[in-house]
Structure 1
Amino acid sequence: MHDLQNWSLSLGRYTGVHVRVHMLFLATAAVVFYLAGRSQDDMLIWYVATGLWILALSTLLHEMGHILMAWQVDGQASEIVLWPLGGLAFPRVVDEPRSVLAVAAAGPLANAAICVVVTPVILLGGGEVAPLFHPLRPPVPDTDGITWVHATSLLFWINWVLVLVNLLPAVPLDAGRFLHALANRQLGRRRGALWAVRSAQVCAVGLCAAAALTYRSHPLAFLPLVLLGMFLFCSARTEVQRPRRPDAEEEPAYTTAGDTPLLSDSAAGGRPASKGPLAQWLAARKVAREARRAEIEAEEERRVDDILARLHEVGLQGLTPEERALLHRVSLRYRNRQQH
């Protein structure tokens, strides 16, 4: 899951931000459409299609909340990777709990704001808001067909679920990222990382237990809860098994979910890293990714000279949003190098 580009498809670059959709999002859409198609209910198929469009737009707004806040705290955000519960490419921000909290909270707050905005619309249309707070009971249209009230209710429910899920104290969810940064500050990097991993694993077990306990009353929620639990548990285990960078003992200036591993081999139990074929393949992939990243950074730094020349001619307002974003990324990169 950490090699985001190899498991995602590009949707283009907008204002300097590369937007990608994770294969997990596409797989979820395919499974949901398959299950809806088996019912041979045209209204259900249209309702599922509406829900998927709402989910895609809601996750995009969730990620835009992260990016806008990251820019406010002088962070770096050059990529969005959408998955069903938000995004996987967390912006690079100063490794300090207050900054991480601001950026992490911006995503769920964007979803909560959508809920607040659509609440009066639902009430004016004769709908009810209270039932929409039940995360395991999505709004279902009646036999008369899908109306704008049903679509708005679904918009509320999806965004409310995104808020609740990202409040779980488990990486890579938003609350988990903040608690990981806080634990690093209070306990040290190794103990904080171990605490973050254990918290994610406890959440994963809790989700699977909730799926079993609610199976009879909410059978449709069983599979999503189990899959989310498995994802969180496996993500935590992956973080444990990832080797640290040679300089990881130093406190990094910037942190992101894909760049800073949680635990060293010794913190994971003292076992040496595996030298089998899989480990060798992963190491080769890592070298290839780092080489590709170095090429991209070198190309961006070459472009900076041309942009700076234009900056003297037309001023900052004369630059395109992509050029301003590139300057921002490169300046943060230089600052990060100076602090190491």
Structure 2
Amino acid sequence: MKTKKLLVALILISLVSMFSLLATGAQETASPADKYPSKPIQVIIGYGSGGDADVNGRIFSKHMEKYLGQTLVVSNVTGAAGSVGARQVLEGRPDGYIALFSHWGSLMNTLLGVGDYNLLEDFNIAGICALDTNTLLVGNEKGRFADFNEVLAYAKQNPGDVRVGIEVGSVVHLTSSVLQASTGVEFHLIDTGNMGNDMASLKSNQTDFAIRQFSNVKDFIAAGEFKGFAYLNDKRNEMYPDVPAITEFGVDGMKAFYSKFFWYGFPKDTPQEIVDKFAAAMKKVSEDPEAKKEFAALGVDLRFMAGDESKKFITGIKETFEPFMNTLKK
């Protein structure tokens, strides 16, 4: 009898040990993405409210919620041309619950050494979600120039007198400098600061034209306050067909600025499984009919590129920008 009881006890101990090992093994093989996301995700935008990063980031994040099943809490953390917000994300916990939504301004910061980070090396890039091919040279409807032909003619006769609003160190700054080189004229580049200040300066005729995305200025145009001078593209926009493409003025050196990209990124050490799950939701949004319709109204093309493809695309833009960096000047 004692032998039988001892045998039963040994069997029970063995079974307990086996189930314990199985449970431990299951825990070890569980992916950190299995329960992701289990709480709201913080999305940092390094630019102020009302700009294209803010507008696009909020709309895209709103659509992400239905595919992730969690709220995306969007916050604007401004300063140093987007670098303050980027740095906050890089210093956050790499657990998938803090992400950056930004645009090609982050690449400019990398090229200029602003913010002490490298877009391609320091972030785990989830992907590019949208391209805006509708960069517009826009003037005041009551300004001193009727169209871009007048701007160029006047600038050739009066170097440094045509005033262009920029934010020093931004892509708009680089675009303005390359536009000077491509047209052979000299503008007066005025540091108006962020998009809101830039629009206020144009509205009050403190500047003669600005370089902005169509989504930023469409309401001003509809209200009869602003008018388009030219699209930075080799073809006209179907939504605003009366505005000529920049190539119609014989300007062929602006191709690098045709496609502004928008992207999400996480701290570098964020588990790849989590980033991939977030990216899968991005892809679904890019194919979502409601999201596509909402972005189309802004002139923005939803186009998903996964991490590696995004890096290749951004590297191409970087290599295109680099030869022009020495043109930056006030």
Establish whether TM, by shorter chain, passes 0.5: no
* Structure with the larger strand share: 2
Structure with more relative contact order (C-alpha pairs < 8 Å, separation 6 or more): 2
Structure 1 length as normaliser, TM-score?
Answer: 0.24
* Structure with the larger helix share: 1
Which of the pair has more CA radius of gyration? 2
